[in-house]
Chains A and B, each alone.
Chain A
Amino acid sequence: MNLGSAHLTALTPMLLVSATIVIVMLAIAFKRRHRGNATLAVFGLNLALLTSLGMLYIGHEAITVTPLFVVDGYALFYTALILVATLATATLSYAYLEGFKGEREEMYLLLCLSALGGVTLACAQHFASLFIGLELLSVPLYAMIAYPVKSRRPLEGGLKYLVLSAVASAFMLFGIALMYSQVGSLLFLDVGAYFAGSASPIAVVGGAMLLIGLAFKLSLVPFHMWTPDVYEGAPAPVANYLATASKVAVFAVLTRYFVEAGGYYQISLVKVLSWLAFLSIILGNVLAVRQNNVKRMLAYSSIAHFGYCMVALIAGGPLAVEAVGAYLLTYVVTSLGTFGVVTLTSSPMGERDADAIYDYRGLFWRRPYLASILTAMLLSLAGIPLTAGFIGKFYAITAGVDAHLWWLLGALVVGSAIGLYYYLRLMVSLFLRDPSNRQFNAPLDWAQRTGGIMTLLAMLLMLAIGIYPQPFIHLLQLASLTLPG
């Protein structure tokens, strides 16, 4: 297979991220400067983001680069989404790591590596690239979660994620092997063609094992056990990355697998998936109510959100891909804002993050802007109209109604109602009287800090999507996948 210039052009975002990794690594080797190295990483990621957005808007037909990758509107859209989340994490890490007493620069290196894994997943159309992408996404994450290696909780979180992730990868590899034993090809399209006919039970078992691996990464109930502990242990910016970029990348490849590799033909598995979605929505929301720790609460709420997103995926039909895209877009923008405020309240990094609800008591009277942003973001997570979260939920419900998934929609409605309760609980505490002994003071000049600007942008974007979604819907339509046949 020869690589022509058209192929290389299509791969530009991926190549730019790879080049950034090598350059940042060499820069760290020769001169350790937090600001310089962070700027270098952010510059490279921005370049990759701009090219992917440019390519998405210019729009060209899908280019298959080797059997492993396909660069189409869908891949470019998710590449851009992952890079935006990565950039936000890099920005937040910068303010956060100022208080870290170790070597700070490697965080950006790990972040870029993980982003490369995400971009690989967005372009994957082959089980080999799916697996490579997934590992490249999660292996740097182990190190990122345990980055403050001297403290107990991050180390515990990192180890938990490492062990459970390895188990999930083993399941997935075995599933892929079983499917390969029946299909004789690792290409999504060939697997899809095979499932369109009569599939042997061995292949279906393989599909189920693959789904177990992916459901673990998306922390769907009952594969969610690791989520709250890891989110709580991880430094706040890394938790942000875990909740956004890593999950979006996995969901992107899951959707492509469903559409191209015949996930929809495996009726029994779709049934199982709808149970997983149902359980995720209900359990995620119910368990979130009981949390007094903001990071744990957001972890459970992310379980529930991916349950909602699953509804859109299970619905299938012409709207599914667009609905999933809309949900993920709004979820990423909202989560970036929420975790952004949590990170900014916790930075510079101290003994622990500001993650107890008590730490947010009276935040409005101390830091009105941060508290306002957090309020808006929580409303969006709850799905109140005029916010981005509403558009995402609207899409998910529309797709569900089209497919007559009544009991799943019931769960979605009940789950959203429960969700409103715990989001409001946090929101109320923002406006309570200021406790006399406060432990966390976000720096006063937060607005000048890049992190503050980033969260403000996330909020503006969130409101823009909520009030005038038309340009974003146009973007989503550029990122459609066509069903084969």
Chain B
Amino acid sequence: MAPISAWSANTWSLIVYTVAVIGIVGLMLGLSWILGGRDWGRAKDEQFESGVLGQGTARLRFSAKFYLVAMFFVIFDVEALFLYAWAVSVREAGWAGFIEASIFIFILAASLVYLWKIGALEWAPASRRPSSPSEPDSPAAKPDRPAR
């Protein structure tokens, strides 16, 4: 038998680990499948909602605006992270860093202007907006803001 080199020892430990993981998962699922009781009933088919009876189905239709705004938030939030990195090293980065950060902020601001102007931040459906989305209107003038 060949001597166990460092590489093959590593590989073997990885293989054993993988097999063990698959085995444990299989064991857990398999045992609960074999040992677990099974019965059906009208009330048993309902989802468990912490004791509250479920109402309606999960097939609700959310307004796409909701996702859109959530996505904008994530995008701008993630980009703000870069500013934190700059903020902790503002002295070391010097003027060059300042100029780069300014360009970055300018591009962020430009994209915000773009989103605002194309009406992506409007909450109201298009039919209930006071004016066409191409014309700027201040966010305060929105007819129906969601109640908080």
Contact = CB atoms under 8 A, between A and B. Distances in A.
Nearest to A105: B118
Contact of B96 (A2, A22, A32, A200): A2
B129 interface: no
A22 B107 contact: yes
Interface residues of B, number: 12
B83 interface: no
A28 interface: yes
Given A22-B107, A22-B110, A29 B118 contact: yes
Nearest to B114: A29
B114 A28 contact: yes
Measured as residues with beta carbon below 8 angstroms from the partner, the interface class of chain A is 10 to 19
B20 interface: no
Interface in A32-49: 32
B111 interface: yes
A26 B96 contact: no
Mostly, the A contact residues are helix
Nearest to B134: A32
B27 interface: no
Nearest to B111: A25
A3 interface: yes
B24 interface: no
A3 B96 contact: yes
Interface in B102-127: 106-107, 110-111, 113-114, 116-118
A25 B106 CA distance: 13
Nearest to A200: B7
Contacts of A28: 114, 118
A25 B134 CA distance: 14
Contact of A29 (B7, B96, B106, B117): B117
B76 to A, nearest CB: 15
A29 B107 contact: no
Contacts of A30: 117
Contacts of A22: 106-107, 110
A139 to B, nearest CB: 12
A25 B114 contact: yes
A412 B121 CA distance: 55
A30 B135 CA distance: 9
Contacts of B117: 29-30
A32 B116 CA distance: 14
Interface string A145-182: 00000000000000000000000000000000000000
Nearest to A21: B107
A200 B106 CA distance: 46
The 7 closest A-B pairs by CB, nearest first: A29-B117, A29-B114, A25-B114, A22-B110, A29-B113, A26-B110, A22-B107
7 contacts: A25-B110, A25-B111, A26-B110, A28-B118, A29-B113, A29-B114, A32-B134
